A and B are shown apart, each in its own frame.
Chain A
Amino acid sequence: MTLIGWIQIALFCAVVLALVKPLGLYMTRVFTGERTILSPVLRPVERGLYRLAGIDEGQEQHWLAYAGAMVVFHVAGFLVLYGILRLQAVLPLNPADQAAVAPDLAFNTSTSFVTNTNWQSYGGESTLSYLSQMLGLTHQNFLSAASGMAAAVALVRGFSRASTRTLGSFWVDMTRAALYVLLPLCMVLTLFYVWQGMPQTLGAYVDATTLEGGKQTIALGPVASQVAIKMLGTNGGGFFNANAAHPFENPTALANFVQMVTIFAIGAAFTNVFGRMVGDERQGWAILAAMAVLFLAGVVVTYWAEAAGTPLLHALGLQGGNLEGKEVRFGIVASALFAVITTAASCGAVNAMHDSFTALGGMIPLVNMQLGEIIVGGVGAGLYGMLIFVVVAIFVAGLMVGRTPEYLGKKIEAKEVKMAMLGILCLPLMMLGFTALAAVLPAGLAGPANAGPHGFSEILYAYTSAAANNGSAFAGLSANTLFYNTTLAVAMLVGRFFVKIPALAIAGSLAAKKTVPASAGTFPTHGGLFVGLLVGVIVIIGGLTFFPALALGPIVEHLAGLAGQTFATGG
Chain B
Amino acid sequence: MLTHLRPTLVLTTALTVVTGLAYPLAMTGLAGTLFPAKAAGSLVERDGVVVGSALIGQSFTGERYFHGRPSATTAPDPADATKTVAAPYNAANSGGSNLGPTSQALRDRVADDLARLKSENPAAPVPMDLVTTSGSGLDPDISPEAALFQAPRIARTRGLPEDRVRDLVAAQTQDRLLGILGEPRVNVLALNLALDAGQVRTGR
Contacts and interface: CB of A to CB of B under 8 A. Distances in A.
Contacts of B135: 242, 245, 325-327, 335, 350-353, 356
A213 to B, nearest CB: 10
B52 A247 contact: no
Interface string A533-568: 000000000000000000000000100110001111
Contacts of B79: none
A206 to B, nearest CB: 6
Contacts of A210: 51-52, 58-59
A129 to B, nearest CB: 13
Interface string B91-128: 11111111111111111001100100000000001101
A175 B38 contact: no
Contact of A187 (B21, B23, B42, B180): B23
Interface residues of B, number: 101
B129 A328 contact: yes
A450 interface: yes
Nearest to B178: A254
A282 interface: no
A262 to B, nearest CB: 15
A89 to B, nearest CB: 17
Contacts, number: 381
B66 to A, nearest CB: 10
A476 B103 CA distance: 12
Interface stretch (A309-317, A383-391, A428-436, A491-499): A309-317
Contacts of B92: 125-126, 205, 217-219
A246 B129 contact: no
Interface string A209-223: 111101011111010
Contact of B62 (A198, A212, A324, A457): A212
A320 interface: yes
Contacts of A327: 134-136, 139, 141
B91 A217 contact: yes
B20 interface: yes
Contacts of B9: 53, 76
Interface residues of A, number: 129
Given A53-B11, A135-B16, A247-B139, A319 B128 contact: yes
A183 B38 CA distance: 22
B200 interface: no
B102 A318 contact: no
Nearest to B40: A201
A60 B93 CA distance: 48
Interface stretch (B29-37, B152-160, B162-170): B29-37
Given A178-B15, A247-B136, A328-B139, A567 B27 contact: no
Interface of A: 4, 7-8, 11, 49, 52-55, 65, 68-69, 72-73, 76-77, 80, 123, 125-126, 134-136, 138-139, 141-143, 171, 174-175, 178, 183, 186-187, 190-191, 194-203, 205-212, 214, 216-220, 222, 224-226, 229, 240-242, 245-248, 251-254, 256-257, 309-310, 312-313, 316-331, 334-335, 350-353, 355-359, 362, 449-454, 457, 474-476, 557, 560-561, 565-569
Interface of B: 1, 3-12, 14-16, 18-21, 23-28, 30-32, 34-35, 38-43, 49-62, 65, 69, 89-107, 110-111, 114, 125-126, 128-129, 131-143, 176-177, 180-183, 185, 189, 192-193, 196
10 contacts: A11-B180, A77-B12, A143-B19, A210-B58, A212-B61, A241-B94, A319-B128, A327-B139, A331-B183, A476-B99
